[in-house]
Structure formats: C-alpha cells, structure tokens
Amino acid sequence: MIDLRSDTITRPTEAMRTAMARADVGDDVYGDDPTVRALEDRVAGLFGHEAALFTVTGSLANLLAVRSVVPVGTEVLCEADAHIVRAELGAHAALGGVTTRTWRHPRGLVDRALVEQLVAPDLGPFLVRTAALSVENTHNFAGGVVQPLAALRGLRDLADAYGLAMHLDGARIWNAHVATRVPLAGYGAVADVLGVCLSKGLGAPIGSLMVGSAERVAEARVWRKRLGGGWRQAGVLAAAGLHALDHHVERLADDHANARVLAEACGVDPTDVDTNIVVVACADAAAVVADARERGVLTSAVGPRTLRLVTHLDVDASAARKAAEVLAPLVR
Ligand SMILES: *Cc1c(COP(=O)(O)O)cnc(C)c1O
C-alpha cells in the first residue's frame, strides 16, 4: 500500500530506532532527562526563542501556547480553516477559556486588511477583547500553503500596533522553511509563541514542542503537568526528534517534488502546490478513495468533492510515480 493519507503515518527508520535505543534518559518531571533538555534547547535556539517544552502532540503544544497569550474570556483571531479552530476538538474553549473569531481566505492566507477589521482592542467592559492573532504555516486544510514572510511581518506590525500577541501554528514550519529558505529564526521572529511538530514530515513517532519566552514556557510546564501531560523517561522520544532534525529536514524537498508529480497527474496546477499536500477537486471523493484503495493507494476525502494527498518519508519517488499512475484516471 502507498499511503498518502497523512504525513503522520511514517514509522521510525532503523537509524532513528537506534538513536532512540541509545538515548540517555532521566525523569523529565524532575527536569532530569538530558535528551529532552537537549531537544528543548535546540528547538528554542532554532527559532530564536528562550525556551521550549516537549509535548505529546501538536494540539497540546498549541493549547499551551495559545493559553499563554490569551487570558480566559478573551479572543484569538485566526483563519476559518485553521487547525486550532477545526481540528483540536474545541480544546482552546473547553480547557483554555478562549473564544475565537475568524477571517476567511480562499488559500488560507493572512490578509492584513481582513484581520484589522476584526481586531477589537479593549473597547470597554461589554465587548470581547482581542488578545492575540494566530497564523498557521504551512496551512494544512488550505493544502500545505506557505504564508509569505512579508505577510507575516505585516501581521506582526498589526499585532504590535494594537498590543496583541502572535501565535504561530508551525506543525509544518519545516516544510515552509525548506520550500522558501526563510530561516526558522525568521519565522520565530514574528511570533511570541509557536507550536511545532516532529511527528509530521520529520518522521518522528511522537512529539511536538511549544516555543516561547522562559516565563511562558515555565508556566506551560505547570499546565502540561496539570493536564496530565508530564512525562518521565521521554528521552527515547526526544532522541527521535533530535535524529529527525539532523537527518529529515532537508529531505522534505523530495516530498515537495513528489507532491508536484501527483499534482500534475491529477490535473492540479503544480505551481499551486507549495509543499507536501495536494488538494484535488473530483466528482466523488469517496468513490475515488475506495477505487484507489483497491489499487493499492490510500488517500483521504476531506470533503464530498475534495481529495487530499500528502507525501512523506515513507513514499519515495518511484512510489509517488506509481500512485500518480493509479490516481490519474480515477480523478478525471
Ligand atoms: C497535525 C497538526 C497539528 C497538531 O496535531 P496533533 O495530531 O495534535 O499532533 C497542529 N496544527 C496543524 C496545522 C496540524 O496539521
């Protein structure tokens, strides 16, 4: 089976498993796991921030990041298809006391003018106060779209003008970095807090990080424990993350090339494919998913007429070409 459902389905490579088996570990609740600390320090440094906190999921990293800048009963603004409002099961409301309003852009992009219309700084004790802006890069449901750095900087300026914080959902920030060559620190510089995932394109089995100031991360550490997310000898997982940072970042370019091969075969303009996600319009997505499965290719329907294909570490160029041959006649 060639599995294009998600880049989360990758299994650790032999070399990654070896790194995990050899990891030096300790009890991370006591701050005693050297491998976890090394991962946290390294990721904080990559983004030019003071500190980072290793978490079990990207959803938890986002929850901790957003709650660190959005007080209970205030709001965060984001795009209507953002993961934080569509795919985190209401966690920010249920556990963070956060409310949201959204702008909509056909490609999931930041539109400073649209955002500015929504901003509600302190207007008195009768309107919800905007506390933060949130941006997703790359944008998952929009199809792995990269947010242009100039637009992110424009949003940062807007946030500063109104005294707002910026959250960056960087589950696939590595893909944006490889596609654009913008340094990770360049993305880090526009945000007060970030969530980044090791378990997507980077191919680690488990793990994400919340990134921010030392003070915010110290408070997030308490909240992570409060939510039941403190962990012990997590160094075996952190070792997978460190291995991924050493070996699996630059190769994301291969995933992007494979995604363009799939796009071309499926009649999608390859120049619309920024990274490793291809969104294909077709007459009956469920039927295509079923037919492709019978022919050895797993895909996902993300709408009645929308198919999603995601390339990753476990799909090499020849598998991508094979999948393209299978899918081409099915989506026409
Ligand atoms: C996958 C993803 C997350 C986090 O997902 P988890 O499954 O909780 O690790 C967050 N944001 C985006 C955009 C994602 O694609």
End position of a domain, from candidates 246, 275, 307: 246
C-alpha–C-alpha distance, residues 127 and 4, integer Å: 44
Give the residue, by CA position, lying nearest to ligand 1 atom 6. 58
pLDDT digits (tens, 9 = 90+) for 147-197: 999 999 999 999 999 999 999 999 999 999 999 999 999 999 999 999 999
Mutate to test the pocket of ligand 1, among 10, 79, 200 (most ligand atoms within 8 A of CB): 200
Give me the amino acid identity at 174: W
CATH of the domain at 96: 3.40.640.10
pLDDT digits (tens, 9 = 90+) for 52-75: 999 999 999 999 999 999 999 999
pLDDT digits (tens, 9 = 90+) for 137-151: 999 999 999 999 999
* Residue 59 CA to ligand 1 centre (angstroms): 6
* 54 is a domain residue: yes
End position of a domain, from candidates 246, 275, 295: 246
Residues 70 and 142 grouped into a single domain: yes
Residues 89 and 115 grouped into a single domain: yes
* 106 is a domain residue: yes
* 112 is a domain residue: yes
* 2 is a domain residue: no
Mutate to test the pocket of ligand 1, among 141, 169, 274, 300 (most ligand atoms within 8 A of CB): 169
- Is the CB of residue 6 below 6 angstroms from any atom belonging to ligand 1? no
* Residue 94 CA to ligand 1 centre (angstroms): 18
Q: Say if residue 314's pLDDT is above 90.
A: yes
Q: Do 275 and 176 meet the contact criterion of CB atoms below 8 Å apart?
A: yes
**Ligand 1 atom nearest to 139, measured from its CA:** 13
Residues 154 and 198 grouped into a single domain: yes
Q: Say if residue 10's pLDDT is above 90.
A: yes
Q: Write out the two tokens for 100.
A: 């949201």
Residues 241 and 323 grouped into a single domain: no
Residues 159 and 263 grouped into a single domain: no
- Is the CB of residue 28 below 6 angstroms from any atom belonging to ligand 1? no
- Is the CB of residue 134 below 6 angstroms from any atom belonging to ligand 1? no
Q: Say if residue 123's pLDDT is above 90.
A: no
- Is the CB of residue 136 below 6 angstroms from any atom belonging to ligand 1? yes
CATH of the domain at 272: 3.90.1150.10
Residues 201 and 290 grouped into a single domain: no
Share of the chain above pLDDT 70, in %: 100
Residues 204 and 310 grouped into a single domain: no
pLDDT at 332: 85
Q: Do 277 and 143 meet the contact criterion of CB atoms below 8 Å apart?
A: yes
C-alpha–C-alpha distance, residues 102 and 87, integer Å: 14
* 5 is a domain residue: no
**Ligand 1 atom nearest to 88, measured from its CA:** 8
Residues 310 and 223 grouped into a single domain: no
* 141 is a domain residue: yes
C-alpha–C-alpha distance, residues 231 and 235, integer Å: 10
pLDDT at 14: 98
End position of a domain, from candidates 211, 246, 281: 246
Q: Is the pTM of this model over 0.95?
A: yes
- Is the CB of residue 170 below 6 angstroms from any atom belonging to ligand 1? no
Q: Which domain holds residue 46?
A: 10-246
* 301 is a domain residue: yes
Residues 196 and 324 grouped into a single domain: no
What's 271's DSSP letter? G
For residue 157, give every residue at least 6 positions away whose Cβ sits within 8 Å of its Cβ, in sequence order, or none. Answer: none
Residue for token pair 């980077």: 202
CA torsion sign for 69, 154, 47, 146 is positive
Counting the structural domains of the chain, the total is: 2
* 1 is a domain residue: no
**Ligand 1 atom nearest to 8, measured from its CA:** 1
* Residue 266 CA to ligand 1 centre (angstroms): 26
Residues 50 and 131 grouped into a single domain: yes
Residues 214 and 266 grouped into a single domain: no
Residues 257 and 242 grouped into a single domain: no
